[in-house]
């Protein structure tokens, strides 16, 4: 048989391709020769054909071990579509019922099935091992092999038992291990655990030239996501979130704003997950919102964007998740939102873990932080993490940092200082400790090692820590230093670093642009941002507010508060529906005061030829509305505010904020039954009179004028709510 001819014939017959990609042909030949094979190939490189084609060409059944039930189903469906027979490929996992399992076993025994996908948990069940001994196994493919390693981003203890199980299935069964993300440490771990030191290694470049990488500060993140999706209508995308709760919230927000989206996480029933996956593949939904922790396993070639609502906890995870974009070689945009709050959350998750695991997790997370905060080419940083050197000139402006104008600094002298310091203290410390010495920070470690007595202690204070952070990061990226992530992130000099000490030369490094450490506080209410304020319009709106306030005999803030006017100057609402979406307006106020403001804005927009934002109306989530409706109903029934708060699982402060938002949006609430219990008539009148003549509605100003000994903050807030409700609504 002409194996080469047969290879190409089969490639065309089964998959419809005319040529192999990269190392595929060599890998398949190696597997067909029954040699152990280790494949490191980025997502989208065509890993699955490396075991599917030899399985179809070999005698017997190939066992494919995969952690992702969704991916199994997807690949089995594809193989059946190519091969034309339902028995050509099967999966065996917890989603099947007894009769379905019986059908799978019958097809396997009859020799019709060429590929059997199993989860590692299913593989190790004694009755499955017993059954698999009855069939001829061509080879075992271990997909997502990084799950073997504790240093991998998705470690699964069941993967550590695979070698033992394979040994129990028969002698000399060849193994092909495949992964899309493996640092050098993880590669060694995989080879050692699977006992395949004799394996032929095929390692492709991790560079995905069609992917655009971008980090954005986390401000108004839901609004940013909705704007991006609406500007890219008709394109498929995945949004990753840190928690199941956030997945549900984001999916709901997208649907409320006319974007077809579905949530996808481990808490959903297997059938629901399978249906969701099918709808995404069939393009019945545009967007999947998923947890970072739960592997998507969706093999969709035309995913056009991957958005990380929360920063991922490892570079491996980030690379694998972004790798789901543009697998067909077409457009793939990867946007991650970064906030210090997310980093703090991830660090908090690690607190309860064993010390060694916490140390590993901390180092892995530090790499993500460095990546997000650095001004260096994103692609260069990703590839360096996976042991690959890359010249940023080859990025072709396919990341946000390469598109920006960079600021350089002369690095020769500071680099010499850092390399001498690291060498002088024995190359036994991480970058945080080195920075603490340079900045002169007395920590438990700098004192214990007597490094606070060093001549170098505090020599970098003048330049500030941003320069030194930039320098150390780039000293690693340019191979003057090596960071041992597997050993607490210790820094040591490379040969290039030692040569630089002997013969220094002038070189330029890029200074980091401090990232706006945004917070997603605004996310909860999906408020509108007020980033680009039209100062001229704001003056006109304030004048109009003053005029209306005079006519109604109320203070101006009763009509609309300043934040509402500022938002109008960002988004230019010209219809009643749009005005109602401005925070602090709502239905009541829009109807009562809105018309003259809309007329003014409409005229202003026309006169100044202003292009309005296309995605102005960001509808708030239903669960928020339900809470507000429930509060209004409870107030109507004259239930005490503390009791309402308790029944809703929120604090008294939070219930006051919710009620204030309801009233400020124009809904009238009669709180007399509660206020009368808290304040007598005279004190109520005093606060009422104060607000009637006040310039603004500040509680601090009211407390100062009325006397902090006479009133509490909560009392003033309660009276402000009553005042706004009675006069404004």
Instruction: Verify that 133 and 67 share a domain, yes or no.
Output: yes
CB count in 10 Å sphere of residue 677: 9
CATH number at residue 153: 3.40.50.300
pLDDT, residue 625, reads 63
CATH of the domain at 448: 1.10.10.10
Residues 350, 467, single domain; the answer is no
Q: Which of 381, 403, 425 is the last residue of a domain?
A: 403
Question: Quick check: 724 pLDDT over 90?
Answer: no
Residue 399 sits in the same domain as residue 416: no
What letter does residue 481 receive in the DSSP assignment?
Answer: E
Report pLDDT digits (tens) over 461-515. 999 899 999 999 999 999 999 988 767 789 999 999 999 999 999 999 999 987 7
Confidence of residue 526 (pLDDT cuts 50, 70, 90): very low
What is the predicted pLDDT for the residue at 109? Answer: 93
Q: How many other C-beta atoms can be found within 10 angstroms of the C-beta atom of residue 356?
A: 10
d(CA 320, CA 208): 11
Whether residue 617 is contained in a domain is answered as no
For the segment 265-310, what is each residue's pLDDT rounded down to a tens digit? 888 888 888 888 889 988 899 999 998 755 555 678 899 999 999 9
Torsion of CA 97, 102, 107, 111, to 10 degrees: 130
Last residue of one domain, picked from the residues 203, 221, 246: 203
Provide the pLDDT for residue 33. 95
Regarding whether 253 and 368 lie in a shared domain, the answer is: yes
What does the radius of gyration of the chain's CA atoms come to, in whole angstroms?
Answer: 31
For residue 367, give the nearest of 416, 293, 323, 315 by alpha carbon. Answer: 315
The CATH number for 626's domain is 1.10.10.1390
Helix axes 495-502, 412-424, angle to 10 degrees: 110
Is a pLDDT exceeding 60 seen at residue 4? no
* 422-472 tens-digit pLDDT: 999 999 999 999 999 999 999 999 999 999 999 999 999 999 899 999 999
Could you tell me the CATH number of the domain that includes residue 600? 1.10.150.80
CA atoms of 442 and 457, how far apart (whole Å): 9
Boundary of a domain, candidates 361, 378, 403 = 403
| Residue 667 scores a pLDDT above 70 | yes
pLDDT at 531 (0 to 100): 47
Same domain, 188 and 283: no
Query: Dihedral sign, CA of 412, 413, 415, 421?
Result: positive
Q: Is residue 18 part of a domain?
A: yes
Per-residue pLDDT, 530 = 37
Distance CA 103, CA 270 (A): 20
**And the tokens for 98?**
């007894």
Evaluate whether residue 593 is within a structural domain.
Answer: yes
Residue 519: inside a domain, yes or no?
no
Q: What is the secondary structure of 211-272 as a DSSP string?
A: EEEEEEE-SSHHHHHHHHHHHTTT-EEEEEESSHHHHHHHHHHHHHTT--EEEE-TTS-HHH
- Looking at the structure of the chain, the number of domains it has is 5
Residue 517 in any domain: the answer is: no
Residues 722 and 627 in one domain: yes
Q: Tell me whether residue 521 is in a domain.
A: no
The top-scoring range by mean pLDDT among 54-68, 142-156, 691-705 is 54-68
The answer to whether 289 touches 268, Cβ cutoff 8 Å, is no
Task: For residues 29 and 173, state if they share a domain.
Answer: yes
State the average pLDDT over residues 308-336: 91
Question: What domain range is 680 assigned to?
Answer: 622-728
Both 393 and 422 in a single domain?
Answer: no
Is the same domain home to 370 and 260? Answer: yes
Same domain flag for 693 and 626: yes
In a domain, residue 613? The reply is: no
Average pLDDT over residues 715-727: 86
Nearest to 104 by CA among 74, 66, 125, 135: 135
Cβ pair 575, 591 in contact under 8 A: no
- Clarify whether residues 360 and 417 are in a common domain: no
Helices (H), 534-574: 535-552, 556-559, 562-571
Percent share of the chain, pLDDT over 90? 42
Kindly state whether residues 503 and 363 are assigned to the same domain: no
Beta carbons of 468 and 439 less than 8 angstroms apart: yes
Where helices occur in 679-712 by DSSP H, the ranges are 681-693, 699-706
Phi/psi region, residue 691 (left: phi>0; alpha: psi -120 to 50; beta: rest), is alpha
Decide if 487 is inside a domain. no
Tally of CB atoms within 10 A around 88: 19
């Amino acid at each position: 048989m002409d194996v080469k001819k047969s290879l190409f014939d089969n490639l065309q017959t089964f998959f419809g391709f005319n040529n192999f990609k990269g190392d595929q042909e060599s890998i398949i030949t190696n597997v067909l020769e029954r040699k152990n094979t280790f494949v490191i190939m980025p997502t989208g490189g065509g890993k699955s054909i490396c075991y599917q084609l030899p399985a179809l060409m070999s005698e017997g059944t190939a066992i494919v071990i995969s952690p992702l039930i969704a991916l199994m189903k997807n690949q089995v469906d594809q193989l059946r579509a190519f091969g034309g027979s339902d028995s050509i490929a099967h999966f065996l996992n917890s989603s099947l019922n007894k009769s379905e399992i019986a059908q799978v076993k019958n097809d396997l025994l009859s020799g019709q099935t060429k590929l059997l996908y199993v989860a590692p948990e299913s593989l190790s069940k004694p009755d499955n091992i017993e059954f698999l001994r009855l069939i001829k196994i061509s080879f075992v493919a271990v997909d997502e092999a990084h799950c073997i390693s504790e240093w991998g981003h998705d470690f699964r203890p069941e993967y550590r038992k695979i070698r033992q199980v394979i040994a129990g299935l028969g002698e000399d069964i060849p193994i092909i291990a495949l992964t899309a993300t493996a640092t050098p440490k993880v590669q060694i771990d995989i080879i050692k655990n699977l006992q395949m030191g004799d394996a032929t290694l095929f390692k492709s470049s991790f560079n995905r030239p069609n992917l655009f990488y971008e980090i954005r500060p986390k401000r108004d993140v839901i609004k940013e996501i909705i704007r991006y999706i609406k500007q890219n209508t008709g394109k498929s995308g995945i949004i990753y979130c840190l928690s199941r709760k956030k997945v549900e919230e984001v999916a709901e927000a997208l649907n409320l704003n006319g974007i077809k989206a579905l949530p996808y996480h481990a808490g959903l029933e297997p059938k629901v997950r399978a249906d969701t996956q099918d709808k995404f593949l069939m393009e019945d939904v545009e967007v999947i919102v998923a947890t970072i922790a739960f592997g998507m396993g969706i093999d969709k070639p035309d995913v056009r964007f991957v958005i990380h609502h929360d920063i991922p906890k490892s570079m491996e995870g980030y690379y694998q998740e972004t790798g789901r974009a543009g697998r067909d070689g077409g457009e793939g945009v990867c946007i991650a939102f970064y906030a210090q709050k997310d980093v703090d959350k991830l660090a908090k998750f690690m607190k309860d873990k064993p010390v060694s695991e916490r140390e590993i997790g901390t180092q892995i997370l530090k790499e993500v932080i460095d990546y997000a905060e650095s001004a260096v080419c994103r692609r260069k940083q990703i590839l360096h993490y996976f042991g690959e050197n890359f010249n940023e000139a080859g990025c072709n402006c396919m990341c946000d940092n390469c598109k920006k104008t960079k600021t350089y600094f002369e690095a020769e002298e500071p680099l010499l200082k850092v390399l001498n310091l690291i060498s002088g203290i024995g190359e036994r410390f991480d970058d945080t400790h080195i920075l603490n010495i340079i900045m002169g920070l007395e920590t438990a470690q700098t004192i214990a090692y007597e490094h606070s007595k060093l001549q170098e202690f505090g020599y970098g204070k003048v330049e500030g820590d941003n320069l030194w952070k930039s320098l150390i990061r780039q000293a690693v990226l340019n191979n003057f230093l090596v960071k041992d992530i597997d050993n607490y992130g210790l820094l040591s000099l490379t040969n290039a670093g030692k040569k630089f000490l002997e013969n220094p030369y002038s070189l330029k490094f890029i200074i980091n642009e401090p990232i706006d450490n945004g917070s997603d506080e605004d996310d909860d209410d999906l408020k509108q941002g007020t980033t680009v304020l039209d100062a001229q319009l704001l003056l006109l709106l304030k004048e109009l507010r003053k005029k209306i306030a005079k006519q109604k005999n109320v203070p101006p803030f009763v009509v609309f508060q300043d934040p509402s006017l500022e938002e109008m100057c960002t988004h230019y609402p010209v219809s009643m529906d749009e005005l109602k979406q401005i925070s602090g307006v709502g239905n009541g106020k829009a109807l009562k005061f809105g018309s003259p403001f809309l007329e003014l804005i409409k005229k202003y927009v026309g006169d100044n030829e202003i292009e309005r934002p296309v995605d102005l109306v960001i509808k708030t989530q239903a669960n928020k509305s339900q809470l507000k409706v429930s509060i209004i109903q409870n107030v109507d029934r004259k239930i005490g505010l503390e009791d309402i708060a308790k029944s809703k699982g929120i604090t008294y402060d939070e219930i006051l904020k919710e009620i204030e938002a309801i009233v400020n949006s124009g809904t009238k609430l009669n709180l007399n039954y509660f206020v009368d219990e808290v304040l007598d008539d005279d004190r109520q009148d005093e606060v009422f009179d104060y607000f009637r003549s006040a310039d603004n509605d500040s509680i601090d100003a009211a407390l100062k004028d009325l006397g902090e000994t006479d009133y509490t903050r909560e009392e003033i807030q309660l009276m402000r709510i009553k005042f706004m409700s009675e006069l404004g609504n």
